[in-house]
Structure 1
Amino acid sequence: MELEVRHLRALCAIADAGSVHKAARQLGMAQPSLTTQLRRIEQAIGGQLFSRERTGSRPTPLGRSVLTRARPIVAQMTELVTEAKDAAGFGVPGGTPRLRLGSTGSRAIPGWLRRLNARLTDTDITFQTDVSANTLLRMVAGNQLDAAFVHEVEGAPLRVPDRVELRVLVRREPQFVAVPATHPAARSGRPVRVTELAGEKWMVDPSVDGDWDGLRQVFAAADVDPRIVYGDYLSAGDLVAAGEVVTPCQPTAQPRPGMAIVPLRDDPLGVRLVVGFRVGRGLGEEGDAVFRDLRAAYEEVAWNSPAYARWLRDQTHPSLPIVA
């Protein structure tokens, strides 16, 4: 087997993501396919490149040596493709303006797209979501996206590519918790302490960049060690409503039957909301307008989210932590 750039890219993805599972999602592959590809690469090289641990995959000494040589090659190839696409006018097919956006999950997205479509009637707007903020930022760096709206969890910094610059939308958004409607925290009408939920099972999606790392630090600071259930946030809502788990959530989350959204006392967990643009290609005045549309959409969902609106009104200075 001869190693190709795609093989080197797969190795870099596994190292950056910290697990084959997360890397497969970022690469758009099935996990078994990536696992098989990794085995073949290791056979070709003649040694194990990653040690498989309970928490993920770590490069072995041989793996670190290979990655040291692989990363510059992958970066140079990405830069070559980016420059070629720019030269070919990739973003303007047939002369039609094109805007390619990406985002991690947010209730502000529908309002953002509604405003963009109303204002840019002659622009072909494409949109995609991904649970991985780092993947979306790499797509911006690789000229696959023009901009990406992502979140950065406190204590788990994003890996921002050299070709990407960040513009801050919200300096610190507090994270809330979804609990069963029958839970005492739902009935009390007050923020709940992390220690009050220490006996609950917490569901966390390990594929969402930074979420588990940030939450683990919150548990350590509160000196609690709750039971953890790994899953995806799409199914978490049903399990919360069934009384099986609690789960961290965005303050703009809307409760469903059987569920309540509750702030955490003292706001121990927060995220920074940012928009990534390619360096030198921030879209100029159009980029400013795209950012303003997102800000307006976020303000709309924030004040129309009951739990978040109550939290905002209870603050000493009741205003959104949005960067002007």
Structure 2
Amino acid sequence: MNLELRHLKVVCAIAETGSVTKAASQLGLAQPALTAQLQRIERTLGGPLFDRDRRGARPTALGELVLSRARVLLPAMKGLQDEAARLAAGGDEMMMSRYRIGAVGGPVVAHLVHRLAEAQPDAQITTHASYYVEELAGMVLAGKLDYAQVGVCGDALPSAEFGLVWQTIAVNAVCVLMPEDHPQAKNREVDLAELGDEHWVAGAGDTCFADCFAAACARAGFAPLKMLETDARACVDMVELGLAIGLCQATFRPPAGLTSRPLRGAPLRWRLILGWHPDSPAARSAPKLMALADEAYQDVIARNEAYQEWMRSGPDVSGITGVELAQEAA
């Protein structure tokens, strides 16, 4: 038997669902038929692809190898089919009819979707939210998402194991979220060294931000008393209740009663980036998405006049804005 793309889809479905029975349901096949097909695939490849027991199906070493190749080949083949169909129909090869965008959060993705919908009213746009950059990168690699709009600390990069291209939308100084009557709120910027007695709260995620914050506090001469991690809504609640002050992006719009101030000298920076797989159809539309993402960022940051004024007279936090980070790291 010759191995075909449909066989790779079977292997991926079993790995994703963790069960032959669930994969059969997902693929619209009878469980015995899928089991027989899996056995033929394993005979062709020379060994078992999954360890199967009551707990489900887990990839063997051979299975992991096959999955790593399948997760590159399947999106690439789908991209070829999509591009061929568009060219055959005389369509614009730089435009996609469907956009699946994953995001860690923040207002930029909302404005990006808004601008994309205006530019392509007939396009199908879906979004997926996650706190974790690596989860979204894995979904792009697996062909489940076209783009991932995420944030990373300073000059850090998502793991190179996903093989994605990451391009910078913008770099901002991290700000402090506090009540409007906080003693430091009267200042245009906040000296981190003056906040050594505070408790802190920040959003959840899998970046190095917590370590970078601890290092910045150490350089300022103190160790933070407490760092709480939770979702954005709970962060705001904790600041409003006086339990802690928060760390937030410059794009965050504080609710009534709260305000944000950048940290003096920008000891912490947050980089907004857009990622895609270089062999996917999304790569051809990436320049357009990057242009829309830049416009979306400008829409959002325009609401924070105080931050823009601070930036005009403050430190340069832009770093390496506008370059393809994957190439830089190579």
Q: Give TM-score, length-normalised by structure 2.
A: 0.68
Among 74, 78, 81, which residue is 2:71 paired with? 78
Structure 1's 298 and 155: CA in aligned 2 closer, same or farther, altered over 3 A? closer
**Deviation of residue 246 (structure 1)?**
0.9
Q: What CA distance in whole angstroms lies between the structure 1 residues aligned with 2:108 and 2:16?
A: 35
Structure 1's 229 and 284: CA in aligned 2 closer, same or farther, altered over 3 A? closer
Correspondences of 1:95-244 after superposition (within 5 Å) = 97-154=97-154, 156-170=156-170, 172-187=171-186, 189-226=187-224, 227-244=226-243
CA RMSD of aligned residues (A): 3.6
Q: What CA distance in whole angstroms lies between the structure 2 residues aligned with 1:153 and 1:319?
A: 13
Q: What CA distance in whole angstroms lies between the structure 2 residues aligned with 1:294 and 1:209?
A: 21
Q: What CA distance in whole angstroms lies between the structure 2 residues aligned with 1:70 and 1:223?
A: 51
**Deviation of residue 74 (structure 1)?**
4.7
Q: What CA distance in whole angstroms lies between the structure 2 residues aligned with 1:125 and 1:144?
A: 13
Structure 1's 240 and 75: CA in aligned 2 closer, same or farther, altered over 3 A? same
Contact 1:115 1:293 in 2 (8 A): yes
Correspondences of 1:39-58 after superposition (within 5 Å) = none
**Deviation of residue 144 (structure 1)?**
1.0
Superposed CA deviations along residues 289-320 of structure 1, whole A, max 9, x for unmatched, are 11111101101211221332222232378999
Question: Which residue number in structure 1 is paired with residue 260 of structure 2?
Answer: 261
**Deviation of residue 125 (structure 1)?**
1.3
Q: What CA distance in whole angstroms lies between the structure 2 residues aligned with 1:154 and 1:100?
A: 26
**Deviation of residue 213 (structure 1)?**
2.5
Amino acid of the structure 2 residue aligned with 1:106: G
Higher relative contact order (CA 8 A, sep 6+): 2
**Deviation of residue 285 (structure 1)?**
5.4
Contact 2:169 2:297 in 1 (8 A): no
Superposed CA deviations along residues 225-257 of structure 1, whole A, max 9, x for unmatched, are 122223222211111122211111001111212
Q: What CA distance in whole angstroms lies between the structure 1 residues aligned with 2:100 and 2:15?
A: 25
The count of corresponding residues between Structure 1 and Structure 2 is: 267
SS at match of 1:161: helix
Q: What CA distance in whole angstroms lies between the structure 1 residues aligned with 2:103 and 2:74?
A: 23
Superposed CA deviations along residues 165-204 of structure 1, whole A, max 9, x for unmatched, are 112222x3211110122211112x2311112111111113
Moved more, 275-284 or 125-134: 275-284
Query: Is 2:263 the partner of 1:270?
Result: no
Question: Which residue number in structure 2 is paired with residue 250 of structure 1?
Answer: 249
Provide structure 2 residue ranges, at least 5 long, that are not aligned to the other structure.
1-13, 19-53, 90-95, 324-330
Structure 1's 122 and 174: CA in aligned 2 closer, same or farther, altered over 3 A? same
> How many percent of aligned residue pairs carry the same amino acid?
23
Structure 1's 283 and 81: CA in aligned 2 closer, same or farther, altered over 3 A? closer
Question: Which residue number in structure 2 is paired with residue 16 of structure 1?
Answer: none
Provide structure 1 residue ranges, at least 5 long, that are not aligned to the other structure.
9-39, 46-65
Contact 1:156 1:214 in 2 (8 A): no
**Deviation of residue 108 (structure 1)?**
1.9
Question: Which residue number in structure 1 is paired with residue 313 of structure 2?
Answer: 314
Work out which of the two has the higher radius of gyration on C-alpha atoms and give 1 or 2.
Answer: 2
SS at match of 1:108: helix
Q: What CA distance in whole angstroms lies between the structure 2 residues aligned with 1:7 and 1:128?
A: 18
